[in-house]
Amino acid sequence: GDTTTRSTTTTRSTTQQWCRTRSHLGSITRATRSMVFVEHEPRRALQSACEVLGVLIHGETERASSVVAPGTEGEDGKASVEVVDGEAEKYAKALMAKTDAEVLGALIEAAPTLFSDGGDKETAGVVHVMANLAREDEGSMKRVMECVTASASERVELRMRCAISVYNDAKAGAGKFGLFEAIAAYAKEAKRQDVLPTLVAHASANVTAWGEDAATQRRALALCIKLLKDLESTDEELFACLIKYLATFEGDAGSVAEAADIAKEAALAFINSPTMFEGDFLELKAVQDLQKSNQGVFKLLSTLLTGSVSDYNSLIKSDGKLISGLGLSESDCLAKMRSMALSTLGKKGEVTYAEVKEALQCEAGEVEELIVRAVGASVVDAKMDQAKQLVVFTRCTDRMFGGEQWKELSSKISTWRAQIAHMEKALSTK
């Protein structure tokens, strides 16, 4: 009765306590995500996180053990039992006595053990506690994200979920975008192509949420462009993102020169596309600046959007290496120029084969083929009357949609409204 006997295994009560800890950690995310805490709940979550790490570091069997207290035998001859802290409890209690910053540092340091040995729920719960400790400091949030994304080969699915959780817990602003960049980099490093569409959609929708300043928005759009290229997205999707990037320079002409490469890429994407025949981006300052940085590209783009086939042929004649030097196909560029010129000619409504031949500078035998090609590309809708050698256009794509096109559309809408009002008045009198 006067000797102390340490149990060699975890007692039943200790095992139950461990199970409660596991259960509590499973609910950490639910408790903390609401951001409306009962005063003591954050500390309970933090304590559970510390206890889990204590067990992972020191082992479950080194938790609190039962001992027989000396000289405590009762009348029935049974000694009372008391619980002595094991190394796991000592670790947790020592950690809880530190400042939040020190606790966060210890949790981050223990992250390799957490991701190596912890269960999914426990790991996610501890990471969530870390994010809440770090939430007010961008640098600390960055450290949490770094420890979560430290391995691209170990428990990638769990790390990706945890990384997204850290991002969601962060405060809005440019610092949050930095965390998103880290997720995107991790997805690429871990070869998680399946995540990229979600990242692209989120980035496109949150450009302004990450920051009102143009510099942050450009970083966000530049990342979108990179992700779209990694995803091998459609030409139209990539082109739309390129134009959004260039549009951020409209109120910042002083730095427009830094957009030269993207402006050239956007111009060549349009020129080389077999499906894009209209654009309202020629007047963008970053595109206009190509006249200084890459005059040949600007002239070719401008001719396609505003010029004639005659203008195009003159440009090619003046610079015989322009098309090949840009890595473009001469036949494809000429075909595109003819289709776009046809859309302008078709605004007349009815034109003769001879007029088409003159405008497109082609042979008489090519007229019908070129019209069919333009119809197939949805540049125009038209019907040909071979007997009369006449083409009737019912729809033509506007190569550019600028001020004049808006005026025309406004006039049409006004006319439609007047016609509807006239019909309503006529019906009301019957």
Rounded Cα distance between 290 and 324, Å, is 19
In this predicted structure, what is the pLDDT of residue 207? 85
SS3 395: strand
Residues contacting residue 177 through CB under 8 Å, at least 6 positions apart: 210, 211, 216, 219, 220
In this predicted structure, what is the pLDDT of residue 292? 93
Express each pLDDT in 107-118 by its tens digit.
999 999 999 988
Helix then strand then coil, in percent of the chain rounded to 5, is: 65, 5, 25
Rounded Cα distance between 376 and 374, Å, is 5
Residue 285 near residue 317, CB atoms below 8 Å: no
In this predicted structure, what is the pLDDT of residue 136? 87
Residue 51 predicted with pLDDT over 50: yes
Rounded Cα distance between 203 and 26, Å, is 30
- What single DSSP character describes residue 154? S
Give 231 or 80, the one with higher predicted confidence. 231
- Cross-strand bridge partners of residue 391: 351, 384
Rounded Cα distance between 50 and 59, Å, is 13
Express each pLDDT in 344-356 by its tens digit.
999 999 999 999 9
Q: Which helix (H) or strand (E) holds 391?
A: strand 390-396
Nearest to 86 by CA among 22, 7, 5: 7
Angle, in degrees to the nearest 10, between helices 214-231 and 235-247:
170
In this predicted structure, what is the pLDDT of residue 35? 30
Average pLDDT of the chain, as a whole number: 83
Amino acid at 266: A
Residues 375-380, mean pLDDT to the nearest whole number:
96
Q: How confident is the model at residue 72 (pLDDT cuts 50, 70, 90)?
A: low
In this predicted structure, what is the pLDDT of residue 16? 38
Whole-prediction pTM: 0.71
Q: How confident is the model at residue 8 (pLDDT cuts 50, 70, 90)?
A: very low
Residue 235 near residue 276, CB atoms below 8 Å: yes
Q: How confident is the model at residue 55 (pLDDT cuts 50, 70, 90)?
A: confident
Q: Which helix (H) or strand (E) holds 351?
A: strand 350-352
Q: How confident is the model at residue 381 (pLDDT cuts 50, 70, 90)?
A: very high
Residues 6-15, mean pLDDT to the nearest whole number:
38
Residues 135-139, mean pLDDT to the nearest whole number:
90
Q: Which helix (H) or strand (E) holds 156?
A: helix 156-169
In this predicted structure, what is the pLDDT of residue 79? 53
Give 406 or 44, the one with higher predicted confidence. 44
Residues 271-293, mean pLDDT to the nearest whole number:
93
In this predicted structure, what is the pLDDT of residue 19? 41
Scan for tokens 């790390």, then name that residue: 159
In this predicted structure, what is the pLDDT of residue 28? 37
- What single DSSP character describes residue 80? P
Nearest to 247 by CA among 292, 284, 295, 196: 284
> What percentage of residues in the chain have a pLDDT greater than 70?
81
In this predicted structure, what is the pLDDT of residue 90? 81
In this predicted structure, what is the pLDDT of residue 408? 65
Express each pLDDT in 323-337 by its tens digit.
999 999 999 999 999
Express each pLDDT in 198-239 by its tens digit.
998 898 888 888 877 888 889 889 999 999 998 888 889 999
Backbone φ, ψ for residue 387 (5° rounding): -65, -40
- Cross-strand bridge partners of residue 395: 381
Scan for tokens 């402006």, then name that residue: 263
Give 40 or 359, the one with higher predicted confidence. 359
Amino acid at 339: S
Residue 116 CB neighbours (<10 A): 12
**For residue 87, how far is the Cα from the chain centroid?**
45
The first and second tokens of residue 64, run together, are 């609190």
Residues contacting residue 331 through CB under 8 Å, at least 6 positions apart: none
Residue 134 predicted with pLDDT over 80: yes
In this predicted structure, what is the pLDDT of residue 425? 76
Angle, in degrees to the nearest 10, between helices 367-376 and 353-360:
80
